[in-house]
Structure 1
Amino acid sequence: MELKYLYTFKTILDAGSFQKAAERLHYAQSTVTLQMQLLSQSLSTALFEKIGRKMVLTQSGRELLPYIEEVLAAAERLQQYSQHGRQLTGTLRIALPETLLSYQMSPVLAAFRRAAPAVKLSLQTPNCYEIRRQLINGAVDIGIHYDIGGYGPSLVTQKLGSYPLVLVGSPALHQQEQDFVTPGQQKDLCLLTADKNSLYQQMFDAYLRTAAITLNGEIEILSTEAIKRSVSGNIGVSYLPRFTVEEELRQGTLRALPAAVPRPEVATVCTYHKNKWVAPAMELFIRLLKEQLCPT
């Protein structure tokens, strides 16, 4: 049995298809197909079956997956063993929301860069639910995200800090439109959001429904900086972690608006797969992360 066949098998699961796995591995698709046929022969069982136009895991494939992951984790440990006591190398794949990357991670990244300059960091910014999925699938090594729960037994979760949330609007906003406490209002205001499925956006949407406050439309803008400029320009209001708008609130370009959202804060966690070997570079990053983001 070739170890590279196991890598190909896992890459198919991470990428979602034979074709995407071939692109990621720089193989021809026929090579991926052949490797899976040879792996199936070695294991004396079919690993994939075609359902419609998609290739999906068979029951045997699902049962063998934990063992294959154990073998790959052991292979990774062997690769790293010779590097013990020497300069850290390799790639560390990290997924985290854009707000945390832009406003909280600079000290962590700077410290890690000083300690492990030869390690390549691959940073991705999906939403928290996608981060959880990628961790379960093994597509990333570490997730740093808001605590959405539902991690199950396959993920290790470590709490970091908690951050207050705030509703912000333009200082030019009419006095009556600044009130988000009185229930039963219909406001001619637009809600600006970076991700309508984000945890804190869902919290604010639930509050609006409970308070029977209706807004006039929603604009999804992928950049928090662009959202802040839009709010400052009186295009709408936005519900954000307070750390993203501290400077603007201090300068008076944004204004905090009263809103009776229950428990207006969001916790952050660091997560990784329980079968993932915590390599020295990964251990270093998590330690620096805790030093910077955990409350003292």
Structure 2
Amino acid sequence: MEIRQLKTFINIVKLGNFSHAAQFSGYTQSTITTHIQLLEKELNTLLFERFGQQISLTDDGQHLYDYAEKIIKLEDDAKNALNKSDIPCGPLIIGIPESLCVFRMTSLLKEYSSLYPDVELKIKYGTSNDFRILLRKKVMDLALFLEPSIIDPDLTNTPLWPEPIVFVTYPNNELTKLTELHPKMLNDQTLVLVESDSNYRILLEKTLQKEGVHLKTVLEVGQIQAIKQLIMQNFGITLLPLVSVAKELDAGELVLLPWKGPDINVTAFLVHHKDRWVNHPMKAFVKLLQERLINNHA
């Protein structure tokens, strides 16, 4: 019985299926399956009941899960107690929204990996709601949220900097002639937006609903780069973090619209579960973030 097999087993239980566990851990699905098969062979029992794509723990699987969590915690405790070095090493899993990862943190992540080569750094894209689940399941160490505020009592958060959110469109759009863009002016417009659980999209939709605005089309696209390409091809307008469109605005490929509706701005927060022990890799990341990014926005 190997620690990595137990970690795979725990991830499958917490994430709900083999494919999600494989994607999260960076293994192939065949490797995940092999880990479980070896556990089942060694223990001479079935750990999961399989119903098509659905799985559930057997009684023996539940018993093993209880032991596995204790074993993994003991492993972490032993490492923390015996590791006298302050040099960060081991796994570090961080959730970062695409706009922050690609347009703010690329250099920082590269520097972190260079400074601490013994840290197994894994970056996961997603939204705050995705990260909440993973932080609470203790399968993610740190996350950056983009939200107006955070009120979760089980999550420790540190405000980092305000993240301006802006409307942009292609240069020939008739809306570029306006000196002010009010919510009702979006009637019958085509919007290209990020995922529905993005906080700045939620703020926009609440405003439009309150104002009784009817959009012509809403196209949901999962990647910011794809959204920008669509807008630059005269597809409509979009709402994105300013940092993610700054290059195109400077080049004249996109045009900023003068929004005069309620604020849609959010703040970047650094978040971890309140019961999560802050280890050396986490401390090193927070320190570097403080030095490179937070101070620049002070």
Aligning the two structures, in what range does the TM-score lie when normalised by the shorter sequence?
0.7 to 0.9
> Aligned ranges for residues 1-296 of structure 1 at < 5 Å?
7=7, 10-17=10-17, 25=32, 27=34, 29=36, 31-32=38-39, 54-55=55-56, 72-85=72-85, 87-147=87-147, 149=150, 151-153=152-154, 155-175=155-175, 180-181=181-182, 183=184, 186-187=187-188, 189-294=189-294, 295-296=297-298
Residues 180 and 288 of structure 1, relative CA distance in 2, 3 Å threshold: same
TM-score, normalised relative to structure 1: 0.78
Task: State the 1:175 CA deviation.
Answer: 4.2
- Which deviates further from its counterpart, 143-152 or 21-30? 21-30
Distance 1:4 1:114 in 2: 26
Q: 1:9·1:36 contact (CA, 8 Å) conserved in 2?
A: no
- Which deviates further from its counterpart, 2-11 or 138-147? 2-11
SS of corresponding position for 1:183: helix
Structure 1 counterpart of 2:286, one-letter code: I
Partner of 1:44: none
Q: Deviations over 1:201-257 (max 9, x none)?
A: 111111222223322112222221222222122111001111111222222221111
Structure 1 residue runs of 5 or longer lacking an equivalent are 39-46
Instruction: Give me the CA root mean square deviation.
Output: 3.6
Structure 2 counterpart of 1:180, one-letter code: L
Distance 1:71 1:133 in 2: 22
Residues 244 and 28 of structure 1, relative CA distance in 2, 3 Å threshold: closer
Structure 2 counterpart of 1:183, one-letter code: K
Q: 1:19·1:29 contact (CA, 8 Å) conserved in 2?
A: no
TM-score, normalised relative to structure 2: 0.78
Task: State the 1:2 CA deviation.
Answer: 9.8
Structure 2 residue runs of 5 or longer lacking an equivalent are 22-28
Task: State the 1:31 CA deviation.
Answer: 4.9
SS of corresponding position for 2:184: coil
Q: 2:93·2:121 contact (CA, 8 Å) conserved in 1?
A: yes
Q: Deviations over 1:160-219 (max 9, x none)?
A: 1111111111110014885631637632x3211232321111111112222233221122
- Which deviates further from its counterpart, 107-116 or 24-33? 24-33
Q: Percent identical across equivalent pairs? A: 24
Q: 1:165·1:239 contact (CA, 8 Å) conserved in 2?
A: yes
Residues 137 and 161 of structure 1, relative CA distance in 2, 3 Å threshold: same
Task: State the 1:24 CA deviation.
Answer: 6.1
Task: State the 1:111 CA deviation.
Answer: 2.9
Structure 2 counterpart of 1:101, one-letter code: C
* Equivalent residue pairs, number: 284
Distance 2:286 2:222 in 1: 27
Residues 158 and 34 of structure 1, relative CA distance in 2, 3 Å threshold: farther
Distance 2:227 2:57 in 1: 40
Q: 1:156·1:272 contact (CA, 8 Å) conserved in 2?
A: yes
Q: 1:185·1:212 contact (CA, 8 Å) conserved in 2?
A: no
Q: 2:183·2:208 contact (CA, 8 Å) conserved in 1?
A: no
